Amino acid sequence: MTPLEQCLAAYAAGEVPARDIEKAAVKETLARLTDAVPGNSVEVRIPPYAAVQILPGAKHRRGTPPAVVEADARTWLLLVAGQHTWLEVAATGRLRASGERSDLSDTLANVNFW
């Protein structure tokens, strides 16, 4: 079972996955995202585990990037697994997206996270 699958099983059972498993799942899904849409114009943050930059465009070097997407690990993993939609998690505030090109709903729909 992959780390993502282990996390989803834990969430479905009402449990919290082991921190190292959740971290591995976040890092794995972010790696797949950066492979699918490399670039530097949008920063995706899943604290406390990782942050990556994706999508071609203006290169960000210091300070707050022009576009930021941030979510907790559980929200991120359920989102990329297709158990929630972008609009659902954004509407509840569990996902924060600001700046140009920060709506990743179409991008995530076209990435194979499995």
CATH topology of domain 3-109: Nonspecific Lipid-transfer Protein; Chain A (3.30.1050)
The C-alpha torsion from 16 through 19 and 23 to 25, rounded to 10°, is -40
pLDDT reading at 16 higher than 80:
yes
Would you place residue 37 in the very low, low, confident or very high pLDDT band (cuts 50, 70, 90)? Answer: very high
pLDDT reading at 63 higher than 80:
no
Which class for 16: exposed (0-12), middle (13-18), buried (19 or more C-beta within 10 A)?
exposed
Q: Give the mean model confidence (pLDDT) for residues 11-37.
A: 98
Which pLDDT tens digit goes with each residue over 80-100? 999 999 999 999 999 999 998
| Mean pLDDT computed over every residue of the chain | 93
